[in-house]
Amino acid sequence: MTMVEVLSSELVVPAGKTPGGSIWLSNLDLAGRRGYSPTVYFFRPNGDPSFFAADAMKDSLARALVAFYPLAGRLGLDGSGRIQVDCTGEGVAFLTARSEHYALEELMNEFVPCGEMRDLLVPPTPAPNPPCALLFVQITRLRCGGVVLGQAMHHSIVDARGAAHFFETWASISRGGGAPTMPPCFDHTLLAARPAQSRAVLYDHPEYKPEPEPVDPVSASTYASAIITMTKGQVGALKARCLGSSTFRAVVALVWQCACRARALPPAAETWLYSMVDMRARLDPPLPAGYFGNAVIRTSVSATVEEVVSSPLVHAARLVRAATSQSDDHARSLVDYLEGVDTMNLPRRGISRAHLRAISWMGMSLSDADFGWGAPAFMGPALMYYSGFVYVMNAPGKDGALALVLSLEPESMPAFSKVFADELARLDTSVEKPSRGLSKM
């Protein structure tokens, strides 16, 4: 049985005249993963006959591409062989599909990020090398009338925040809005290395250096993934245990502790926490809010398993803070460092099973991805690249709640699920409850 049938495939070009030429990519663009980043948006049917009509979606996409014209171009090479974006206006791939197998609620109950779901809901993509298209979109209509919008955008030209900016703009235009209220900025020279005589590499930047092959390498095809919801009360109780830590740092500290326990790692083993930090507002001067490129840097901190597991949770949260508190001097040092290395040979493989990579998508508002028929019932990655990933996101329709999308080794996931559920139960018992009209102290 074919679970999803592709009905049409075409190119959507910008609705108006757009600039030509090429766009230079920064060292942070070149240092990122060379490939496509697939995500999915699930939408419940609302009874409107025009619900995600293909012609209307193509029209609003074409108008969004006028402002975000590089997406309609192709990945190219300059005269020296450096990757760039050629603004050719050739268009983005737009596919329509249908599934008589799935209703939305059934799909949401079954969905976890994995290769099977990516293949069902996101268009196939070519090798991510020049000359290749930069954006692929698929609208899949389900048996119940619900819709999944799946997309794959080339990571070399933009990070998650920039991608969200584009989809929020497309959604706004679909709702009847005009030009984006926050214009995109394509000046990647804002993240160029400093002149040779004034470069200063002040940090070691181990995240960008080749490592010895791990004894226990993680295959991209061997992971189990899960989506876990934390209530607003659980998040509040967790932050109280972490003494003023941010939500992201407190949540990642708990996931790190639970992952170390579930993996049954030796106490003396070294465990690394990797993260990706958005530097737009941390640079001096800050980047424009609409900067459309890769403005994130890899960061990390290490500890022994015993230190992470046996210390109070607030200690792990402080370790996470050490991995996520970088400022302008760190980012500029990294850009200068990358100027002197071959970015094609930077480490891009998976991580050892002792480590964790945590990414915040909390700044992405699901309400801003409303194409005119309601906010998504869920938005998240369609695929986890390897074991040891965790995305921290806002839970749809639940103010203050979080959704954690994570991957672990298949043999570790059952133990993690139990350990983490036990921790959530403890948080539930510590949530303050009113007593005789007064809050407990």
Taking CA atoms, 122 is separated from 5, 56, 140, 166, 427, in Å, by 12, 20, 9, 17, 37
Minimal CA–CA distance to 227: which of 379, 99, 415?
379
Q: Which two tokens stand for residue 361?
A: 């998508």
The 10 Å Cβ neighbour count of residue 301 is: 18
> DSSP of 279-306, one letter per residue?
-TTTSSSPPPTTB-S--EEEEEEEEEHH
Residues 6+ apart with CB under 8 A from 237: 427, 428, 430, 431
Pairwise CA distance, residues 230 & 247, whole Å? 11
Angle CA 23–68–332, to nearest 5 = 50
H helices within 175-266, ranges in order?
A: 232-241, 247-262
Question: Catalytic residue among 154, 155, 165, 330, which?
Answer: 155
**370 assigned to active site:** yes
Residues 6+ apart with CB under 8 A from 290: 165, 180, 182, 183, 184, 185
Residues 6+ apart with CB under 8 A from 198: none
Question: Catalytic residue among 59, 187, 368, 370, which?
Answer: 370
Pairwise CA distance, residues 215 & 162, whole Å? 36
Q: Which two tokens stand for residue 26?
A: 């920064």
List residues with catalytic annotation.
Answer: 155, 370
